[in-house]
Structure 1
Amino acid sequence: MDAFSDSGRVVGVSPSSHQTSASNSMGKVVMASVIGTMVEWYDFLLYGTAAALVFNKLFFPSLDPLMGTLAALGSFAVGFIARPLGGAVFGHFGDKIGRKTMLMTTMFMMGGGTFAIGLLPTYAQIGAWAPALLILLRVIQGIGIGGEWGGAALMVIEHAPRNQRGFFGSLVQIGFPLGMLASTGIFAYLSRMPDAEFLSWGWRIPFLLSSVLVLLGFYIRLKVTESPVFEAAAASSEQPPKIPLLEVLTKHKRNLLISIGLKVCEVAWVYILTVFVVVYGTTVLHIPKAIILDGVLLGAALELITIPLFGWLSDRWGRRTLYFVGSVFTIAAAYPMFLSIQTGSSVVIALTIAVCMNLGHGSMYGPQAALLPELFGTRVRYSGASLGCQVAAGIGGGLAPMLATALLARQGHFIGVAVMIAVLGAVTFIATVFSPETYRDSLFES
């Protein structure tokens, strides 16, 4: 029997049958989660790049360039604000009926929303309906991705051996740089088209291609078995909570707040680097967008190596150590990063973005797929991990680029943005101080 800690996590010994299940199906589970998550992030991140390069001109053309960009980033933020709703809804059903079904549903929500954006008429064609429909589809995307991450992470770490959860969980996380490479790469290629053609039809191609990727991801996920940890909990005699989310909010408040704090700096940092820096570099510094996008591509490519490395290290050093490294680096690098961007040098910019992504984002993002779920028991794990992650994503990922753009418009320089990043880094540092170390805990409940 596994014993519970005061925080609701389990600290006993997991059943040996889990090891057999894990060893027999781990490769299939990891592949399904990585490819599925890559497709989801491809869909979600397309919007961020398009918001910085296209949507301000096609859907908010009546505003001046910076204000149009701010409006476009506002529609980008809507997707993040919708993510806690997705986390709550899919977390509830994921804890009640299983992880796999929820992952199939979120994929179709994301893919359908992305494909529809590629077909949208512009402001010039249907007026105010264009931005309204764009925002509606972004909400659908946000709800979908809000339920996706928690399920994908749980499917992998609940299959994985206890001493390798950090590593296998980090493989789910490489779906993010893979999706970023795919979405940013295709935009970087298409943005070399003549502007008239790119704005007329070229920008639609990445959104329409999503349908092919979604069908591939759906097929692969059909082959995955349900989580053995969830099945063990479902087979036990203990009654599950009627409303898992309510139990998280009433009995797991401390760990929920910790999970929000752990996520907020990492997600803000990566979207400042991949969305706001594109806006700042192209709109204010007049740096060619290809130079910025090349830096993002380099950073994402390197994260294919560093994210699993940090996940592997977290199985040996603990999750908290990597979070201390990432949060301290982010605080220290916030101001120098903008100074480097201001040089205008393609080499300096590319290296700066790549280093900042990998040491600031990758060091925390790698262990995250294991750490956040480990804070919660099986019967509320999907709800707890998803809600904590997605609330922080709404604050750090959705509002941070928009707030940074507003600060830039008001102050005319980047200092306010650097201070904002440092404050968020301090929040994550404090959350890490109060976080329990979880890498030796069992995920099974008695």
Structure 2
Amino acid sequence: MTATSSEPGAAAEADEFELDPRDAARVTRAAFVGTALEWYDYFLFGTAAALVFNRLFFTELDATAATLAAFATFGVGFLARPIGAALFGYLGDRYGRRPALLTTIVAIGVATGLIGVLPTFDAVGIAAPIALAVLRLVQGLAVGGEWGGAMTIAVEHAPKRTRAWYAALVQIGSPVGTLLSSGAFALVLLLPSEEFDAWGWRLPFLAAFPLLLIALYLRMRLEESPVFAELVAQEDRAKVPTVEVFRRTGGRLLVAVMCAFLAVGGFYMITTFAISYGTGIGLDRGLMVNATLIASVAQIFVTVIAGKLAVRWGSAFMVLLGGATTALAAFPIFWLIDQRSPAAVVVAIVLGIVLMTVGYAGTGSALADLFPAALRYSGVSLGYNIAGALSGFMPFLSLAALEAAGNQSWAPALVLVGIAAITALGGAIAGRLRPLD
């Protein structure tokens, strides 16, 4: 087995290892399950930030300030993600994709489960929001290495000609995670308000513990990437991958950030911010959560279709297409929510999620193509999570913009247009760059 690329740090790719497609499918399933738990935990926090944390952990603030504080805590996890990307990127590129992914999944599951046992502000005062922020930081660090690692190990086990398809299958973890978290909250919202506030909201967080056991079992059976094994055999591993990413592929890292911007910031605007906005204009919170639930089901099917199209048209083109169509739909989405009609709200949330998914399905493979194998875990993780750090405060920014505009929805819609346009431009540039493998 020899590497054929002339690029330094590029190992032989999956086609040269004559992988059994069944092995690629098995690895993809293991990556998907871990990613589903990752997003279950992360989406759960976003929903709780809009519905629970503002009232139970920031109770000494007025309603708007409490919501802003809850969203700020939500955004803190995004600031930790680039640090996690550097940390787990180092582990993944130096010591293996598998051990890094085992560590991330445990950290995510434990941090989320512990949120379910936190005392509220009324019980312990300022210690409650501090503990919440700390656990959010742990989540952020672990998520910083999870998605990039799952994507890297999936594409490195897949035949190169079809790896956009396998990468898209890993992305199904996102809607499944949303479906589980939204479904869990939809169920506990059926409880009387007093019981929901007292203990009901905790149940979805505590469910992270049994879900972690399932994900960990599958991850333990995960085989190391053959591409990484080749890097070890050739002694071709970077000493400090993060430094090498910036030094050798800094321009490509910027493109990766642009490509991933909508996948993170835009998504949380249509879920976390939209839930808060909808309840703020008098819509039932159960309706907003259920709309996200319906959108998640649609997202699964769209991811499959978009993954097939990515093999034919290219992952970067799908990123461009998703960004462009979301920018065009931003104002209609918020206009539909403003109608206060349950049907219009569902259409708005589904439309926003579906259009973002067109680009999201191609994001993983597009980012993987931007970096050589020796830097791939770090490069993909940094690109995705720097985008996360920049866009994680979008719900906070959108709420502030909404307040400044006198509660006119054109303000958050304009923020969404900007996010989507950046991703469309990133997809256009990525499509013109040669893959480094």
TM-score range, shorter chain: over 0.9
Tell me the residue number matched to 1:392: 387
Opposite residue 427 of structure 1, the aligned amino acid is I
1:22 touches 1:159 (CA, 8 Å); kept in 2?
no
Tell me the residue number matched to 1:377: 372
Q: Are 1:351 and 2:347 matched, yes or no?
A: yes
Tell me the residue number matched to 2:400: 406
Q: Which among 429, 432, 435 is matched to residue 434 of structure 1?
A: 429
Alignment CA distance shift 1:16-1:147 (3 Å) = closer
Q: Which among 43, 54, 57 is matched to residue 55 of structure 2?
A: 57
Tell me the residue number matched to 2:75: 77
1:323 touches 1:364 (CA, 8 Å); kept in 2?
yes
* CA–CA separation in structure 1 for the residues paired with 2:368 and 2:435: 11
* CA–CA separation in structure 2 for the residues paired with 1:122 and 1:381: 41
Tell me the residue number matched to 2:4: 2
Residues 41-80 of structure 1: CA deviation (Å, up to 9, x unaligned): 1111110000000000000011111221111010000111
Give 1:442 deviation, angstroms. Answer: 7.7
* CA–CA separation in structure 1 for the residues paired with 2:5 and 2:205: 48
What is the root-mean-square deviation of aligned Cα atoms in Å?
Answer: 1.7
Give 1:240 deviation, angstroms. Answer: 2.3
* CA–CA separation in structure 2 for the residues paired with 1:80 and 1:13: 33
Q: Which among 20, 30, 33 is matched to residue 31 of structure 2?
A: 33
1:407 touches 1:416 (CA, 8 Å); kept in 2?
yes
Tell me the residue number matched to 1:217: 215
Tell me the residue number matched to 1:311: 307
Q: What is the aligned residue count? A: 434
Q: Which among 140, 143, 149 is matched to residue 142 of structure 1?
A: 140
Alignment CA distance shift 1:226-1:107 (3 Å) = same
Q: Which among 227, 238, 250 is matched to residue 241 of structure 1?
A: 238
* CA–CA separation in structure 2 for the residues paired with 1:301 and 1:279: 21
Give 1:116 deviation, angstroms. Answer: 0.9
TM-score, normalisation: structure 1: 0.94
Residues 127-178 of structure 1: CA deviation (Å, up to 9, x unaligned): 0000000000000000011110011011111001112111111111111110
Q: Identify the range of structure 1 (86-95 vs 300-309) with the bigger mean alpha-carbon deviation.
A: 300-309
* CA–CA separation in structure 2 for the residues paired with 1:134 and 1:291: 27
* CA–CA separation in structure 2 for the residues paired with 1:382 and 1:315: 22
Tell me the residue number matched to 2:94: 96
Alignment CA distance shift 1:44-1:15 (3 Å) = closer
Match of 1:193, SS?
coil
Q: Are 1:274 and 2:276 matched, yes or no?
A: no
Give unpaired runs (5+ residues) of structure 1: none
* CA–CA separation in structure 1 for the residues paired with 2:98 and 2:246: 24
* CA–CA separation in structure 2 for the residues paired with 1:326 and 1:165: 19
Q: Which among 30, 40, 43 is matched to residue 42 of structure 1?
A: 40
Tell me the residue number matched to 1:173: 171
Residues 357-410 of structure 1: CA deviation (Å, up to 9, x unaligned): 111x111110111111111011111111100100001112x1101100111122
* CA–CA separation in structure 2 for the residues paired with 1:84 and 1:309: 30
Give unpaired runs (5+ residues) of structure 2: none
Give 1:265 deviation, angstroms. Answer: 2.2
1:319 touches 1:437 (CA, 8 Å); kept in 2?
no
* CA–CA separation in structure 1 for the residues paired with 2:15 and 2:159: 10
Opposite residue 2 of structure 1, the aligned amino acid is T
Tell me the residue number matched to 1:322: 318
Tell me the residue number matched to 1:18: 17
* CA–CA separation in structure 2 for the residues paired with 1:15 and 1:343: 51
* CA–CA separation in structure 1 for the residues paired with 2:239 and 2:9: 19
Percent identical: 36
Which segments of structure 1 move beyond 3 Å, counting only runs of 4 or more?
12-17, 440-443
Match of 2:223, SS?
coil
TM-score, normalisation: structure 2: 0.96
Match of 2:59, SS?
coil
Give 1:9 deviation, angstroms. Answer: 8.8
Q: Which among 354, 363, 370 is matched to residue 358 of structure 2?
A: 363
Match of 1:287, SS?
coil
2:14 touches 2:160 (CA, 8 Å); kept in 1?
no
* CA–CA separation in structure 2 for the residues paired with 1:15 and 1:116: 39
Opposite residue 411 of structure 1, the aligned amino acid is A
Give 1:18 deviation, angstroms. Answer: 2.0
2:14 touches 2:156 (CA, 8 Å); kept in 1?
no
Match of 1:120, SS?
coil
Residues 216-250 of structure 1: CA deviation (Å, up to 9, x unaligned): 1001111111001111111115x422101101011
